[in-house]
Amino acid sequence: MTKRAVLALADGTTFEGRAFGASGETVGEVVFNTSMYGYQEILTDPSYVGQIVTMAYPEMGNIGANAADEEAGLPHAVGMVVRSLTKTPSNWRSQETLDAYLARHGRVGIEGVDTRRLVRHLRTHGAQTGIISTENVSPGALSERARAAAGMEGMDLATGVSCKEPYVFTTPSPDVFLAPGDKRPEPELKYDVIAYDYGLKRSMLQYLVDVGCRVTVVPSHFTAEQVLAKKPHGVFLANGPGDPAAVKGADRTVAALLGKVPVFGICLGHQIMALALGGRTYKMKFGHRGGNQPVKDLTTGKVEITAQNHGFAVDDASLKGKAVVTHINLNDGTVEGLAVPDARAFSVQYHPEASPGPHDARYLFSRFATLMAGS
């Protein structure tokens, strides 16, 4: 029997639909993603901690779910909103339905929602707190509770999702199209890299291994002294959730590393590097989430189509004289890349590993390896 569900936003707007996944209630910042595929990678991306993700593309669930496509061991998004949920997936890699996958992990979903209306509402009024409920509670009461819930600004979510102890990662990216029994040559691991886990995606580590890195993943609170004592060839600053300015001590730690070892940052790592340089970050109206964001490389004039997932951005005016802005978003002109050549450091706001998304920017992992080779 189909169960009714309600999505109530903090501004009083409500959407009715049908429940899928787990029953109950979930509260989080309601955001939207424009990707046409890759919902499992999106759900398991730790950057979605505390968020309810709305998929703008209408058909979801048609490839099911499988363990190989996870970016972490469980879904980090607290809820999911879709237009149409496929009950019978059709894909040779499927191990279970999306409905069963979310139910197994205790994540609440709502289907049958007019996601076009919802996305237009969020674009106009901004991302905001919402509640999905399968309980018999009035929509007005749910909106009241959503208004009372904490927002993303000032929230240090990265520390909570970071690993507790260091660990070594040496697994390259998978190739699901290899014939059974075939193996790719193992990469030669020439570079020892320290990766700060602010909520990193597994695929980032895999692409670092692909370019020859033996990666030691460390907690967000790992000190600069502890890093330098390991004598790494480079430091990687990963993605993660929440407000970059709220991550405890991260800016001071990175500031102490700049100039001493090559640094590469992605997404939250990019924002933290900007803060370490004395810059500022700010909350965006609805952010960038999807696999079709055009970014211009100002050093070459080339345009890349990129995967993105962020609700905060770097204030370019705050970095004048401190860093070179290397990339901009062609939709809204926001900062998408920074470089500090004298410190052998660079960062991008977007996701070169994609997962899901286009592969235009994967060369950046090789650029990091080249920077380490010359240090």
Span of 19-28, 147-156, 181-190, 354-363 with lowest mean pLDDT: 181-190
* 349 annotated ligand-binding residue: no
**Where in the sequence numbering do the catalytic residues fall?**
267, 351, 353
pLDDT at residue 178, as a whole number: 72
* 206 annotated ligand-binding residue: no
Average pLDDT over residues 2-15: 96
* 43 annotated ligand-binding residue: no
**Domain 157-373: which CATH number of 3.10.20.340, 1.10.15.40, 3.40.50.880, 3.40.640.10:** 3.40.50.880
Q: What is the pLDDT of residues 221-233, one digit of tens each?
A: 999 999 999 999 9
Q: What percent of the chain has pLDDT over 70?
A: 99
* 290 annotated ligand-binding residue: no
* 95 annotated ligand-binding residue: no
pLDDT at residue 175, as a whole number: 80
Distance (Å, whole) CA 61 – CA 198: 29
Average pLDDT over residues 189-205: 98
Is the predicted pLDDT of residue 210 greater than 70, yes or no? yes
Tokens for 217, please give them: 């993943």
375: confidence class by pLDDT, cuts 50, 70, 90: confident
- The strand ranges marked E within the chain are 4-9, 14-21, 25-33, 51-55, 59-60, 79-81, 84-85, 108-111, 128-133, 167-169, 191-197, 213-219, 234-237, 263-266, 281-297, 303-314, 324-329, 335-340, 345-348
1: confidence class by pLDDT, cuts 50, 70, 90: low
The correct answer on CATH 1.10.4190.10 for the domain covering 4-148 is no
Instruction: Break the chain into its structural domains and give their ranges.
Output: 4-148, 157-373
pLDDT at residue 111, as a whole number: 98
- pTM to 2 decimal places: 0.95
Q: What is the pLDDT of residues 248-261, one digit of tens each?
A: 999 999 999 999 99
